[in-house]
Amino acid sequence: MLQCAILDDYQSCALGFADWGSLDGVKVDSIPDAITTLEALAERLAGYQILVAMRERTRFDAALFERLPHLRLLVTTGMWNAAIDLQAAAARDITVCGTRGVAYPAPELAWGLLLALARHIPAEVASLRAGKRWQTHIGVGLCGKTLGIVGLGKIGSRIARYAQAFEMPVIAWSPHLTDERCKSVGVERASSLDDLLQRADVVTLHMVLAESTRGMIGARELALLKPSALVVNTSRGPLIDETALIQTLTENRIAGAALDVYDTEPLPSDHPYRKLANLLATPHIGYVSRRLYERFYRDTVSNIVAWLDARG
């Protein structure tokens, strides 16, 4: 009997999104807790031949592969995973494959966070439920405000279309963004990141995390923002310098921020982000939707079946 583990199944729901029982000769376990250290991962996963990784939450490098002698198949949700060392996997004869996804859940959440931040929806709901003041904040309308999109890929392009429906002027920037790409989406190309940060009323990040983008929004960049600016990050936590953002929000140098991603996930219970009144934080739920989970896990089962068939 082969052993399969589904990692980071925080809500213990993965088994309900696909027909795992169709995998003859495979016992499937769901692991709901986050395992973060090499020692803990090696101890917990040592007996498994098949692992299912949720996006980039777990770093699979040569050191971990060496501690997993029985591992033969690693399936990642999504078709691209920077946390997997493919060369190290190949060296140990470990097959790596991915799944399809759907494009809309993350940008929909980003827009929902922006609306909630601009109109103080969580605070108003909490006050109403607690029987306190009837109205506690004066919200900001988005119509006519300039949206700055950092990264005009698939997600950034959807965000641009949402903004246009709200009658917001849109500017965009990324290191290799062209006028032709901007024209095809119907937005203006900012001349630089600084230009975008200085002009935008709302900044939303949609960049891939790499060494060149890590900390791309630091203290200097945050200081360029208007005092009334809002910042939204549903892409990767380390795109923004965490210490700089905490200081900026603590000193009320911008109006607020909304985050769905963090340097460390799950977010530590004593993290300053949990206490900032001008920060709206969600627990990385940008991808957490029924249709996406169905796609992730049904494709995962299909991948395992194909691998089993190839083994004969």
Q: Residues with catalytic annotation?
A: 236, 265, 284
Q: 4 forms bridges with which residues in the sheet?
A: 28, 50
Give the E-state strand segments of the chain in sequence order.
2-6, 26-30, 50-53, 73-76, 95-98, 147-150, 170-173, 188-189, 202-205, 230-233, 256-259, 279-281
Asked if omega into 169 is within 30° of 0 (cis), the reply is no
Strand order in the sheet with 50-53: 26-30, 2-6, 50-53, 73-76, 95-98
Rounded-to-integer distance, Cα 312 and Cα 295, Å: 26
Q: Which pair of tokens denotes residue 97?
A: 């494959």
CB-CB contact of 116 with 140 (8 Å) = no
Nearest C-alpha neighbor of 72 from the set 293, 289, 307 = 307
Rounded-to-integer distance, Cα 177 and Cα 95, Å: 35
